[in-house]
Amino acid sequence: MPVAIITGASKGLGRALAEALAARGWDLVLDARSAEVLKEAARGLEVYGTRVAALPGDVTDSWHRTGLVTEARRLGGVDLLVSNASALGAEPLVRLAELPLEGLRRALEVNVV
């Protein structure tokens, strides 16, 4: 089975993508900051019979990122990485030009680095 790591997988686009991949037989390593919401998302994928590892944490933490990759390797490797985590908050999205410098730094750290 192919393996995907999906960050920001507890709701919205990340959760929808996790469901779409699970329905196609992918094994998943899911990440989100909220442990409870992430567990709920993972439980919802059980109906597809794929292996799902839910690792709550902060993608800006190198130890957490290492844990995601380690878990994916345990499942067979990394075939797809979906970098869906965001520090921009819920809708309506803030224009990057309107973010304070610290907000921009945080957005880049989560979304790019």
pLDDT digits (tens, 9 = 90+) for 62-112: 999 999 999 999 999 999 999 887 655 555 666 767 777 776 676 667 666
Alpha-carbon distance of 87 to 8, in angstroms, equals: 10
Angle at 48 between CA 22 and CA 50, to 5 degrees: 65
pLDDT digits (tens, 9 = 90+) for 6-15: 999 999 889 9
Contact 77, 3 (CB under 8 A): yes
Integer CA distances (angstroms), 60 to 21, 23, 34, 107, in order: 25, 29, 15, 10
- DSSP summary character for residue 59: T
The reply to whether omega before 92 is within 30° of 0 (cis) is: yes
| 25 Cβ contact partners less than 8 Å away, ≥ 6 residues apart | 1, 2, 48, 50
CATH of 3-85, one of 1.10.3720.10, 3.40.50.720, 3.40.50.10490, 3.30.40.230: 3.40.50.720
pLDDT digits (tens, 9 = 90+) for 15-65: 999 999 999 999 999 999 999 999 999 999 999 999 999 999 998 899 999
Contact 46, 54 (CB under 8 A): no
Q: What pLDDT shows up at residue 100? A: 73
